[in-house]
Chain A
Amino acid sequence: MSVTAYPTTPPILEPAADGSETQLLEISMGPQHPSTHGVFRMNVVLDGERVVKLKPVFGYLHRNHEKIAENETYLGSMPYTDRLDYICSITNNWAYALAVEKLAGIQVPERAEYLRVITGELTRLQNHASLIGFLLQDMGSSGTPLMYAFRERENILDLFEALTGSRMMCNYMRFGGCRVDTPAGWLEQAQKVVTEFPRFLDEYENLLVGNEILMERTQGIGVLSPELAIDSAISGPMARASGVNYDIRKVDNYSIYSRFSFRVPLGSHGDVYDRYMIRFLEMRESVKILNEAMRDIPAGPIVDPKMRIRGFRPKPGEAYGRIESPKGELGFYLISDGSTNPYRYRVRPPSLINLTVLEDLCLGVNVADVVAILGSIDIVLGEVDR
């Protein structure tokens, strides 16, 4: 595959037809703009309506996560990982637990693996549901699609609350398993939510997928070529929408994903519409995984019985644990020096790395489309700034 150079200089603009002088306008979108998903700021240079330059500015939500984690015990960082990508705290827990388990060579019992898959895929459902809601909200369909999406997300958050005690800051995983077993009737309740979920997807597809206005707004906008996606380490649904077949659930086969039959949906254009549609297809695949996992879940312990909660000291070494989080490749890199806290702790945040191509996607589009492109990248500022 030949890699073509991508234009980074703004296109040269022709003078106005009547010969009048025009001027570039630099505006600051954010950090308090309602559709920048939190405290994200873009310095956009405009020629009329068209974007000629865009500089993302992050760091308004920086809270020194990595340095705090280096001064905490291994377990003490677990609740902080909830606060990275606060929409999907369970997958953050999972990636961190996986890194520590690799570092210390801990085995996870069978039932805990199933519980991880079930909660992880439920996280993917609610993340994608809220993402498409927010994307449509950003594009101006005020309220209705977002409320429909949040109605479904609510059911899944209720499940999380019944299981983990918290709706968003779940703090569910532990090294070598999960924190608590399912309460009585939880799996039946979860099965009911999952069984009803495809109905929501059908409804949502009826609502907006064939909508001509939506297609006008999204098709051919913000095209990400597969070459650029690979070169800039884009992962997750965003890479797959550009046709890059890369899903860590298939590539790494971590946990027990090799036991489930699911497909990896791929887009062909890499525009906003593909990134929007790929979330629907992924949710349908997640429902398949969930049905199989809830059918097969065995009884047994949920945490390695040898594992003590206090005084955990992995031997010196390093490990990188990564999972396919709803936003992309979420990895934790840890170096242990044999003490109770990591010597180095590094997060590979999918949101931040997917956001690095924002300028390339936005050059030459109208300023209203910048919001749609940003919405389709799926960022959470808690993870971007850390």
Chain B
Amino acid sequence: MVGEGILKGLAETARNFFGSYVSKERLTTVQYPEQRLPRIEAARSFPFLVYDGSDWQQGMRCVGCQICEKECPPKCILIEKSKDKKPDAVGKQQFYPAVFDIDISVCMSCQICVEVCPFDAIKMDVDVDLPTDNRFAGLLLDKQQLAKSNEYYHGIHPTEAAAVDAALAAERAKAQAKKPAAATPPAAPPSAAPVPEAQPVGGESK
């Protein structure tokens, strides 16, 4: 019968229309600024710099090694390494970034900076409320604006942050255990030298 398909379609629309009065799961609209969806742990917006302790300048994990600056695909990071060293959160003398700027109008949230950072110093934020009336300076975040505490990091990515803390603690414990051991024998074997971090991989097996 001509028109049967149309009627079938209209019945489906009617079922959806009346169903939305009965079934709560059909009402998926969220009244955005007032209501928010629960935060997703894996979500990512723009990078930030993690610091330990309470002082952002002292506790900053970043040592200005400029790896993320080199690896960033759209080149939105600008780092100037310091000339001097300062004690970090655990009192070790470290370089620090004299300038660390991220232009978030260029950043494409790919999180490659997070993956390449050997110090777990740069992580992805989840904050998306970043509108500004100044499209140049307002979107160029400096060191202070980027610095967020480790507690904040634990708040947004709890699982990941716990794993990072455990890894950092293990590394520190290893370094502590190594220090007296390295001091007692006068000549350490050359094989104990640190492994170079960038190794060409692939191609050999062919």
**Chain A residues packing against B (C-beta within 8 Å):** 72-73, 75-80, 82-83, 103-106, 144, 148, 151, 154, 161-166, 169, 171, 175, 179-180, 183, 203, 206-215, 306-315, 317
Contacts and interface: CB of A to CB of B under 8 A. Distances in A.
Contact of A206 (B9, B28, B198, B202): B9
Contact of A79 (B112, B159, B204): B112
Nearest to B1: A212
Nearest to B67: A310
Contacts of B116: 309-310
A169 B111 contact: no
A212 B42 contact: no
Contacts of B112: 75-76, 78-79
Give me the 6 closest cross-chain CB pairs, A-B, nearest first: A104-B202, A311-B198, A210-B5, A79-B110, A315-B203, A76-B73
B202 A311 contact: no
Nearest to A211: B5
B198 A144 contact: no
Contacts of B159: 183
A208 B9 contact: yes
B201 interface: yes
Nearest to A209: B5
Contacts of A154: 28
Interface residues of B, number: 39
Determine chain B's interface SS by DSSP, over half rule.
loop
B9 A183 contact: no
Contacts of A75: 71, 112
Contact of A169 (B4, B108, B203): B108
B124 A165 contact: yes
B31 interface: no
Interface in B45-93: 67, 71, 73
B43 interface: yes
A78 B108 CA distance: 12
15 contacts: A75-B71, A104-B201, A106-B202, A151-B28, A164-B42, A165-B111, A169-B110, A171-B111, A175-B202, A179-B115, A212-B2, A311-B197, A312-B200, A314-B203, A315-B202
A221 to B, nearest CB: 17
B6 A105 contact: no
Nearest to A79: B110
B206 interface: yes
Contacts of B5: 208-212, 214-215
Contact of B109 (A148, A166, A208, A307): A166
B145 interface: no
B202 A169 contact: no
A164 to B, nearest CB: 7
Contacts of A206: 8-9, 11-12
Given A75-B71, A78-B110, A312-B201, 18 more contacts: A76-B112, A79-B110, A106-B202, A161-B40, A163-B42, A166-B43, A180-B42, A203-B12, A207-B13, A212-B2, A212-B4, A212-B5, A306-B201, A310-B198, A311-B199, A311-B200, A312-B200, A313-B200
B105 interface: no
Most chain B CB within 10 A, of A72, A212, A317, is at A212
